[in-house]
Amino acid sequence: MYRRCLLALALALSFGACSQEAPAPAEPVDEATAAAPAIAPATPLDYADMNHWLCRPGRDDACTQDASAIIVSADGTLKPEPFTPAADAPVDCFYVYPTISQDASPNADTTLGPEEREIARQQLARFGATCRLYAPTYRQVTLTALYALRRGEDVATDRELAYADIKAAWKHYLATDNAGRGVVLIGHDQGAGILTRLIASEIDGQPIRSQLISAILVGGAVETPVGQAVGGTFRTLPLCAASTSTGCIIAYSAFRAE
């Protein structure tokens, strides 16, 4: 069944003893290192709170917006293409959206804005023809911060926070929703980067790998050795070779000509 579904889906941290001897000379201390405070692990969102999900099955949310489309033929002919979500989708899709937040802070807050809802409509909703849709919100690095960094400004972004959120969402999904179903991972841009890291640490070479139908990582940095379909970014997950391939990776990026 997973192979059939892929056809539709193919469109990521006491020294207390005394001594009579003279003490040994102290080791030199790197003052910069010694003075640096320990960095506490990022505390993720609680994904048992349904407000931290952009899309989930069985509710009215960003993924139940109208996903009808217009087919534009090579000759300019336009043809409406209505959309109807599957009543009983056989597999799941877990989606991490791209850099889209326009919040003024370096990392996004937890309040959904129109930009998150719209990107879900554009990129994820139509996968509902084959998938149950899961899309967690997360405290991504914002567009505001990225523009400031490009201008040379010093902005304290926290990418570990963004990753911690998605990792927690993934674990919550596996524990409460997956029930052994096949799953497609979908990510774009920042989302693809986070999913790439998640796959490498939590899926590649792990038992859950058997449930991975595919990972669609668009605008990320997935690498393999020249002429090989596996190795590099992922140890055991190959690139998809055909529309019927499963347990594999689909990745591509676009670059400015200059």
- Please check the confidence at residue 135 and state whether its pLDDT lies above 60: yes
Q: Report pLDDT for 39.
A: 56
Please tell me the predicted confidence (pLDDT) of residue 26: 40
What is the Cα–Cα distance from 90 to 73, expressed in whole angstroms?
31
The answer, yes or no, to whether residue 211 has pLDDT greater than 80, is yes
Which carries the bigger pLDDT value, residue 201 or residue 31? 201
Work out the pLDDT band at 20, boundaries 50, 70, 90: very low
- What is the share, in percent, of the chain residues with pLDDT greater than 70? 84
Cα(68)–Cα(83) distance, integer angstroms? 5
Q: DSSP letter string over 91-142?
A: EEEEEE--S----SSSB--SS--HHHHHHHHHHTGGGGGTEEEEEE---PBP
Residue 143 has pLDDT above 60, yes or no: yes
Model pLDDT, residue 40: 67
* CA–CA gap between residue 182 and residue 4 (Å, rounded): 12
Is 90 exceeded by the pLDDT of residue 148? yes
pTM, two decimal places:
0.83
Per residue in 176-196, pLDDT (tens digit) is 999 999 999 999 999 999 999
* Phi-psi region at 200: left, alpha or beta (left = phi > 0; alpha = psi -120 to 50): alpha
The predicted pLDDT at position 6 comes to: 38
Could you tell me the two tokens for 207?
């038992």
Tell me: pLDDT of 217 over 50.
yes
> With 60 as the cut, is the pLDDT of residue 87 above it?
yes
Instruction: Kindly tell me if the per-residue pLDDT of 233 is higher than 80.
Output: yes
Say if CB 2 and CB 246 are below 8 A apart: yes
DSSP state of 64: G
Residue 5 has pLDDT above 70, yes or no: no
Q: In what order do the strands lie in the sheet with 212-218?
A: 53-55, 131-136, 91-96, 183-188, 212-218, 248-252
Among 11-20, 165-174, 248-257, the range with the most confident prediction by mean pLDDT is: 165-174
Residue 138 above 90 pLDDT? yes
pLDDT at 41: 77
CB 89 within 8 A of CB 131: yes
pLDDT score of 42: 83
Give the residue carrying structure tokens 């990521």.
12
Range from 72-76, 91-95, 180-184, 220-224 carrying the lowest mean pLDDT: 220-224
28 pLDDT band, cuts 50/70/90, is: very low
Counting every residue written for the chain, the total comes to 258
Helix, coil or strand: residue 177 = helix
